[in-house]
A and B are shown apart, each in its own frame.
Chain A
């Protein structure tokens, strides 16, 4: 699986959009980009994933660059409950047949 690079921490004001970047310059054509978050002492929560097209769901939007070497997770209206560690993960296939390789993630802190 390709490695990812994320900033260790970010701040965002409550009510503003939080944009979390991820670099995955060695991604292969069949690798998906997954985003998870982990609120303190809880299990990781799935947010969104995509292959090459931009994706949106009720939680967030995922923007993948055309060359697929980087992506941005967007939380449109951040709340205090969005404070968490966010993990960007590149996975070999879209199925459940492979384990996830977590890095250190980005600690997003939403400021009131």
Chain B
């Protein structure tokens, strides 16, 4: 049973460019969340997708957008990249309901903006 998988693992972009990161949730999970983790900090919640819609959003600008596909996989898009967007981007998957549920994380995508 594959866990949460993310691609690419590492990438370098230039300021002003756009980037797309991809995530496949753990088998059977219907909810995908994205987090940004700057160096030395804990992960910060960006947004969550369920039933192909954004359900919750953290304190991130509109440059950060996403999408969820019918097979529950998801993409994170960041436009007009800034140097400060350099971080580890983590995808997490879970079931939307069910109490006592566990949220699983992928290994992340390292983004460097130069």
Contacts and interface: CB of A to CB of B under 8 A. Distances in A.
Interface of A: 32, 34, 36, 41-46, 49, 51, 85, 87, 93-105
Interface residues of B, number: 35
Contact of A102 (B43, B98, B99, B100): B43
A102 B97 contact: no
A95 B96 contact: yes
A95 B97 contact: yes
Contacts of A101: 45
18 contacts: A42-B107, A43-B4, A44-B105, A45-B105, A46-B103, A46-B104, A46-B105, A87-B42, A94-B99, A94-B100, A95-B94, A96-B93, A96-B96, A97-B55, A98-B56, A99-B45, A99-B47, A101-B45
Given A96-B96, A97-B96, A99-B33, A46 B102 contact: yes
Contacts of A97: 31, 48, 50, 55-56, 96-97
Nearest to A30: B99
B22 to A, nearest CB: 15
Nearest to A51: B100
A94 B96 CA distance: 10
A104 B96 CA distance: 26
Given A87-B42, A102-B44, A95 B102 contact: no
B33 to A, nearest CB: 6
Q: B98, B103, B104: which has the most chain A beta carbons within 10 Å?
A: B103
